[in-house]
């Protein structure tokens, strides 16, 4: 009995001598690796915060880096214990490749979302056109962008599709040029029409003085003479100024006896704003 106990004790001592130091080393690797991973995550967050990068992207990238570092730490700890990690790494790599191929559309949207968050072609509150739709940006996410249409519909656009198309941002600049086309009859006096249009523009304080308004004949149409009226306004007041100017043109023309010819079925309106 004593012999068996001695053998068991001897065997345990051998195991402790063989695996004890490896287990301690593996635990140290896990502990130090965990501390390093947390430190790297903190540094990344600080750097991205100083660069004023979107909080969603900061959280995603810092967490992703943390998980990647921890994966290497765990593999290193298992290798220290004598576990064969080569096949494990191969399986993980193959699984990652399969997942990447299956989610290549999502990864494309992710990459596009990251680029748009970094370069900021638009921000929440901007009215944009892109990917065949238009609306006010409600939220720019990692994979999709949420727009609100003028009639209050929610439009969810994949970032890959949005980034791969032309993006028109109507709020990117503080000012915009308002272009209007006004049609009058051939019998009306051109100078009088120009003078009236200039007075209408000058009477609206929202129309900028510089750059100066441009008024001139742009076309001799089938039903009348077409004038181009081009003025600069603040972007936030674009729609209000457009409505007010068109209304004042109609009221003033009626009062001054200037006729607006009726368009043919193929023409789009008496007074119109070009697309």
Per the model's pLDDT, the better-predicted residue between 108 and 173 turns out to be 173
- What is the distance between the alpha carbons of residues 162 and 168, in angstroms, rounded to a whole number? 11
Least confident of 12-16, 73-77, 139-143: 12-16
Assign 36 to helix, strand or coil: helix
What's the whole-number mean pLDDT along residues 169-188?
Answer: 95
pLDDT over 70 percentage in the chain: 78
Query: Considering the chain, what is the average pLDDT of its residues?
Result: 83
pLDDT mean over 46-63: 76
Mean pLDDT of 160-174: 93
Is the confidence at residue 246, as pLDDT, over 60? yes
What CATH class is the domain 2-102? mainly alpha
Q: How far apart are the first and last CA of the chain?
A: 100
Q: What is the pLDDT of residue 274?
A: 41
Are 121-169 and 175-272 the same fold in CATH? no
Pick from 53, 54, 91: which is nearest to 71 by CA?
A: 91
Q: What's the pLDDT band for 191 if we cut at 50, 70, 90?
A: very high
Q: Reply yes or no on whether the pLDDT at 22 is more than 90.
A: no
User: Which 3 state secondary structure label does DSSP give 115?
Assistant: helix
Most confident of the following: 47-56, 111-120, 161-170 = 161-170
Residue listed under structure tokens 């003479």: 225
Domain boundaries of the chain, sorted by first residue: 2-102, 121-169, 175-272
Q: Out of 3.30.565.10, 3.30.70.100, 3.40.50.300, 3.40.50.1820, select the CATH number for domain 175-272.
A: 3.30.70.100
Checking if the pLDDT of 7 tops 60, the result is yes
Q: What dotted CATH number matches 121-169?
A: 2.30.30.60
Instruction: Inform me whether the pLDDT recorded for 10 exceeds 70.
Output: no
Mean pLDDT of 132-137: 95
pLDDT of 267 above 60: no
Q: pLDDT tens digit string along 194-244?
A: 999 999 999 999 999 999 999 999 999 888 999 999 999 999 999 999 999
Q: pLDDT tens across 92-103, in order?
A: 666 666 655 555
Instruction: Give me 48's structure tokens.
Output: 């991205």
Distance separating alpha carbons of residues 88 and 247, to the nearest angstrom: 74
CA distance 139 to 145: 6
Residue reference for tokens 């680029």: 115
Q: Decide: 66 and 40 in contact? Cβ < 8 Å.
A: yes
């Amino acid at each position: 009995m004593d012999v068996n106990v001695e053998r068991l004790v001897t065997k345990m001592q051998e195991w402790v001598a063989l695996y004890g130091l490896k287990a301690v080393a593996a635990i140290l690797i896990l502990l130090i690796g965990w501390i390093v991973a947390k430190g790297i995550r903190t540094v990344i967050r600080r750097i991205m915060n100083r660069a004023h990068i979107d909080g969603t992207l900061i959280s995603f990238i810092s967490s992703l880096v943390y998980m990647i570092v921890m994966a290497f730490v765990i593999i290193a700890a298992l290798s220290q214990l004598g576990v064969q990690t080569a096949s494990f790494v191969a399986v993980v790599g193959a699984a990652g490749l399969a997942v990447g191929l299956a989610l290549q559309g999502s990864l494309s949207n992710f990459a596009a979302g990251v680029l748009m968050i970094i370069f900021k072609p638009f921000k929440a509150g901007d009215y944009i056109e892109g990917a065949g739709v238009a609306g006010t940006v409600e939220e720019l996410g990692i994979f999709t962008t949420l727009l609100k249409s003028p009639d209050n519909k929610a439009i969810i656009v994949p970032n890959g599709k949005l980034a791969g198309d032309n993006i028109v941002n109507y709020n990117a600049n503080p000012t915009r040029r308002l272009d209007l086309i006004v049609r009058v009859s051939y019998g009306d006096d051109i100078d009088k029409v120009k003078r009236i249009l200039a007075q209408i523009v000058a009477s609206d304080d929202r129309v900028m003085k510089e750059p100066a308004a441009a008024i001139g004949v742009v076309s001799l149409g089938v039903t009348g003479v077409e004038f181009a009226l081009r003025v600069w306004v603040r972007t936030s007041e674009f729609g209000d100024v457009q409505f007010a100017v068109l209304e004042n043109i109609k009221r003033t023309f009626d009062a001054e006896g200037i006729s607006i010819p009726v368009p043919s079925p193929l023409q789009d309106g008496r007074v119109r704003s070009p697309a």
